[in-house]
Amino acid sequence: MLLNEILNKGFDGHNFINGLNSHLRDLLVCKDNVTVQLLEVGSEIRGKYIKQSESCSVDFLLGLLNIGNTCDLQYKVSQNKRLLVELSLIQMAQVSLKKKE
């Protein structure tokens, strides 16, 4: 339902998935003290990223990024772009469920 609300407000599905991919990338960058300096945000936001990244494993983030990147690559040629984004989010949710098990 949230995706529907976002798209109904005029946001593009491609921008949505790319924004999500960027966020996941930033979380992955925060997993290592050496790479955290690659974040181009203020110290307060950096702290929030670091805190959020602590609840995610590297494998989990890489799995989500793989799904998001595949969606990004397929977006331009997809006949049903909305379905592609929805399926990608479902796949990400499945990875999240496996993480909780």
**Domain extent listing, the chain:** 2-100
Who has greater pLDDT, 85 or 98? 85
* 97: pLDDT strictly greater than 80: no
* 99: pLDDT strictly greater than 80: no
- What's the CA gap between 59 and 56, in Å, rounded? 8
Indicate left, alpha or beta for 42 from its phi (over 0: left) and psi (-120 to 50: alpha). beta
Query: Which pLDDT value is given to residue 3?
Result: 85
Q: Residue 68 corresponds to which amino acid?
A: G
With CA atoms as reference, report the closest residue to 61 among 19, 30, 25, 86: 25
pTM of the model: 0.87
Residues 35-88: pLDDT tens digits?
888 888 888 888 898 899 999 999 999 999 999 999 999 999 999 999 999 999
| Other beta carbons less than 10 A from residue 3's beta carbon | 14
Confidence of residue 101 (pLDDT cuts 50, 70, 90): low
Cβ-contact 20, 3 below 8 angstroms: no
Query: Which pLDDT value is given to residue 98?
Result: 74
Cβ-contact 51, 43 below 8 angstroms: no
Confidence of residue 1 (pLDDT cuts 50, 70, 90): low
Residue listed under structure tokens 């379905």: 83
